[in-house]
Amino acid sequence: MVSEPGTPNCADSSISHGNSANAIAFRFRNSGTSFMEFPEMANAGTITVHVRNGNNTASTTLTLEKYVSGSWSLLNTFNLRAKNAYSATSVDEVLSYRIDSPTPVKLRLTRGDRFISLLRVDITAYGEDASALPEVFTGKVSINEHQVILNGLIGYKATIYNLSGVVLFSKDKISENEIFTLADKGVYLLKLERNNEVPVAIKAMIK
């Protein structure tokens, strides 16, 4: 752990500590083994890190990794600016990455080649920051009582999850008209994907 004294407030306006107070951070070393590993999560949406490069003039990186089949695989590289770039504005640099994993996932953050202070990290649940209905799907996705109805989405892969990340329905290439029936009331996640397009997660509420 490290204390960042006499620093401006956090870049997140909802967090305030004042210039006379100290911000406490987890420090990544600049050599050897240094990482922060998270317990396995049922699912994951977006990770947001509040970080500060320990070097005044040189940039560095912080990597996000995912545990797959017994080894760690790179998910994303956060590029951190030099410490002096933030000395007069805020104590931290705030960076985000969309993980979008509806199934259980284990993650870790690993060091770069400079000392790095990690002041805060947040990981949302999968679908928590999904839009209710993207404009491109207007009129093509609807809910009628316990049914999720898809029209005009030929060729898409449709998957429906509960909020624990369990797959309830999955169909690789849906037809012109598809209906999925959900027996229980609650909030579900509909994931639509096709070829190399970016997958879209849509909340479906059964009342």
pTM over 0.75: no
Q: Which of 123, 150, 165 is the last residue of a domain?
A: 123
Average pLDDT over residues 123-141: 72
**Domain CATH code at residue 192:** 2.60.40.3080
- Which of 123, 149, 168 is at the close of a domain? 123
Do 14 and 36 share a domain, yes or no? yes
User: What domain count does the chain have?
Assistant: 2
What lies within 8 Å, CB to CB, of 177 at 6+ separation is 149, 150, 151
Is 128 inside a domain boundary? no
Q: Does residue 130 lie within any of the structural domains?
A: no
Q: Whole domain around residue 183: which residue ranges?
A: 135-206
- How many CB atoms are closer than 10 A to CB 173? 11
pLDDT value for 8: 53
Average pLDDT over residues 69-94: 81
16 assigned to some structural domain = yes
Residues contacting residue 45 through CB under 8 Å, at least 6 positions apart: 98, 99, 100, 123, 124, 125, 126, 127, 128, 129, 130
Q: Is 35 in the same domain as 92? A: yes
- Would you call 85 helix, strand, or coil by DSSP? helix
Question: What distance in Å separates the CA atoms of residue 45 and residue 156, rounded to the nearest whole number?
Answer: 21
What rounded mean pLDDT belongs to the chain?
Answer: 82
In the chain, where does DSSP find H-type helix? none
Backbone angles phi, psi at 73, to 5 degrees: -120, 140
